[in-house]
Structure 1
Amino acid sequence: MATSGNPIRRIAISTGGGDAPGLNAVIRAAVVSALNRGWECVGIRDGYDGVLTPERFPEGGLIPLTADRVRGITHLGGTILGTTNKNSPLAFPTPQPDGSVVPVDRTAELAERIGENVDALIAIGGDGSMEIAHALSRHGLRVVGVPKTIDNDLDGTVLTFGFLTAVAFATECLDRLHSTAEAHDRVMVVEVMGRYAGWIAMSAGIAATADAILIPEIPFDLTSVARKIAERDRIGRRFSIVVVAEGAYPKGGEHSLVPGEPGRIERLGGIGEKVAEGLRATTGKDVRTVVLGHLLRGGTPVPMDRLLALRFGAAAVRTLAENHCGVMVALDPPEVKYVPLDVATRRMKAVPLDCDTIQTGRDMGISFGD
């Protein structure tokens, strides 16, 4: 682990990437823990935009984080600092004299600018944010990462905060869809977030006793799903619930992508409707699609996500106080420990195909499309 013996008097906190329930809880725990050690705290607006493009913020790109500023925010969704999944300092879009825009690595400049204002940084985010944190650490900035993503796909930690809230909401939605699907003898195809990992789809689908669950780790064959629906019809269960992770894809096929915003790459999306179209053709049933999308990101964090977020925020400050840097705090039950940032960003954490949860679903007769 990298260490630094310089005393800490002032720290910065940033939140990057997609929002997730629990971000404000991390901020509160980190700020209160730091203030109790006599440190000052500032927050960086919108990821690192508050440092790289401070002119965007008339009130300033850095926000003083006082006890009053973080009071009463533990239960709030979103982030009081703002966040962004654009303008990565690893490839910052930079206008050129000829009018073109090219990506430029500005992490060295960013590390220098942050270092002029504070002694250390707590970077809260997912895999992209942890890669940025690792780069800033290599440029000499004292950094501790806090893992955040509803997708639960960050390696090195058993859980990321935000995941349990997303699963709880998705499960509630699936519960509600059971009754309307049964009333109309319909097949409901429900698309959920998760990027290239199937943690949300698998967990919510099994918790809500879905009939089929399609995840990126298991390329699917719609014939298998149609067979499951037909089996249910034969026993008088004339409705079905099919959960589809946004990164799921058919055997021999590709991920479903939709056009991104101007200047951005395509993003995952649309697989739910493609599955629905295929099932309409193969089953002849009334098939409807529900895309939960960003509903999974919003709202109040469930108690366990709040607790994990508070533990992570306090642990990040303890880690700095113990003179460690270049690490990410991580849940290793029952403890919160830390792992090197390069280890945390080495690979995506996919659903293990031999895990007990998958086996539970198979034992219950749930189809995974294989």
Structure 2
Amino acid sequence: MRVGVLTGGRDCPGLNAVVRAVVRKGVQHYGDEFLGFVDGWRGPLDGDTVPLDIRAVRGTLPRGGTVLGTSRTHPLDHPDGVRRIRENLAEHDLDALITVGGRDTLGTAARLADEHGLPIVGVPKTIDNDLWGTDCTIGHDTAVGVATSAIDRLHTTAESHKRVLVVEVMGGDTGWIALRAGLAGGANVVLVPEQPFDVEQVCAWVTSRFRASYAPIVVVADGARPADGSMRLGGSGVRLSGVGEWLAREIEQRSGKEARTTVLGHLQRGGTPSPFDRWLATRFGLHAIDAVHDRDFGRTVALRGNDVIRIPIAEATSRVKRVSPELYAEAGVFFG
């Protein structure tokens, strides 16, 4: 078979490991030929390709980013997008397309497969870990590790200066990175989008921590918001990110304790993938090419326990996997 591969949406560690596994098994086990589409959905939209073979993917397992490039292109925003993709797949004589992406990229893949009959298999990646139906997504473990390492380092400077350090991590809709890195790093407060927070309670936890002669670390997802809707950034409503600086100012004003903010930003999605992400991405790639040969199109691979299964792409993108109240409550034991 001739198979196309693309990586779409925001980058994350582990993308190259997927492509490598797909190509290695496809060539060695099935005798496939591969073509990489450049810059996410823009590739099949414009017919922009690069050759993919074993030599092209050699040495890419530990590399961050994506050798195929990526973009936030939405082909369905183009009136002739479906026609252009269909024609480019046909022009290159491709039998299937493996799409590695998050909610937006796989959401497009689901529509192209289900509504237009294109032969697509999905692979879930996103540092946010917010895709439904899979225990973990590619890139999430690395992001948690980067955030945890930063929190570990910030403990020492917080103690030295006896100040509050607010660590803002990514998580616009879900708090998986904040919760897991916060617990692993020994944070004293963790704030997530799923649970609007009370600023006065945050200040009470901070004050309690100082009474115990320790300087507190507050971890906040960039999509977390106060319950009273009081946060205003730039003087004109709420926008994503900026919550860390806002919260540090509120803590200083209300508690009288000096506070500083560290925004981890794109550090969480860059660099070398963790061993777990390399393992997960490799397994996803191996199972994705199997799905192609089973002609199990319109489905994505997913992790359940230790098993890689297949579920409809539309199911994975139909809802957001959020931190449950029960899981968040477990972390509350360590607040304050």
Same fold (TM over 0.5): yes
Match of 1:362 in 2: 332
When you count helix as a share of all residues, which structure comes out higher? 2
SS in 2 for 1:325: coil
Match of 2:244 in 1: 272
Aligned residues: 331
Deviations 1:330-354 (A, max 9, x none): 0011210000111111001111111
Q: Indicate whether 1:333 and 2:305 are aligned.
A: yes
Measure, in 2, the Cα distance between the counterparts of 1:255 and 1:282: 14
Q: Which runs of 5+ in 1 are unaligned?
A: 1-8, 55-60, 93-103, 259-265
Match of 1:185 in 2: 162
Aligned partner of 1:320 among 292, 296, 301: 292
Aligned partner of 1:63 among 34, 50, 54: 50
Measure, in 1, the Cα distance between the counterparts of 2:9 and 2:208: 42
Aligned partner of 1:41 among 17, 25, 34: 34
What are the within-5 Å matches in structure 2 for residues 238-317 of structure 1?
Answer: 239-253=215-229, 268-317=240-289
Match of 2:193 in 1: 216
Deviations 1:116-152 (A, max 9, x none): 3211000000000111111221312110000000000
SS in 2 for 1:206: helix
SS in 2 for 1:18: coil
Deviations 1:265-286 (A, max 9, x none): x962111111111111101111
Tell me how large the CA RMSD over aligned residues is.
1.8
Match of 1:78 in 2: 65
Deviations 1:236-278 (A, max 9, x none): 22x11000101100103288778xxxxxxx9621111111111
SS in 1 for 2:57: coil
Measure, in 1, the Cα distance between the counterparts of 2:233 and 2:61: 35
- Opposite residue 21 of structure 1, the aligned amino acid is P
Match of 1:134 in 2: 110
Deviations 1:301-348 (A, max 9, x none): 111110000000010001111121000100011210000111111001
Aligned partner of 1:106 among 81, 86, 95: 81
Deviations 1:191-249 (A, max 9, x none): 00122100000000010110101100110111001001111222222x11000101100
Measure, in 1, the Cα distance between the counterparts of 2:62 and 2:123: 18
SS in 2 for 1:12: strand
Q: Which runs of 5+ in 2 are unaligned?
A: none
CA contact (8 A) 1:256 1:269 kept: no
The structure-2 alpha-carbon separation of the partners of 1:22 and 1:270, relative to structure 1 and needing over 3 Å to count, comes to: same
The structure-2 alpha-carbon separation of the partners of 1:257 and 1:129, relative to structure 1 and needing over 3 Å to count, comes to: farther
The structure-2 alpha-carbon separation of the partners of 1:176 and 1:123, relative to structure 1 and needing over 3 Å to count, comes to: same
- Opposite residue 257 of structure 2, the aligned amino acid is K
The TM-score, its normalising length taken from structure 1, stands at: 0.86
The TM-score, its normalising length taken from structure 2, stands at: 0.94
- Opposite residue 342 of structure 1, the aligned amino acid is A
Which aligned segments of 4 or more residues in structure 1 are displaced greater than 6 angstroms? 254-258
- Opposite residue 30 of structure 1, the aligned amino acid is V
- Tell me the percent identity: 46
Measure, in 2, the Cα distance between the counterparts of 1:108 and 1:354: 46
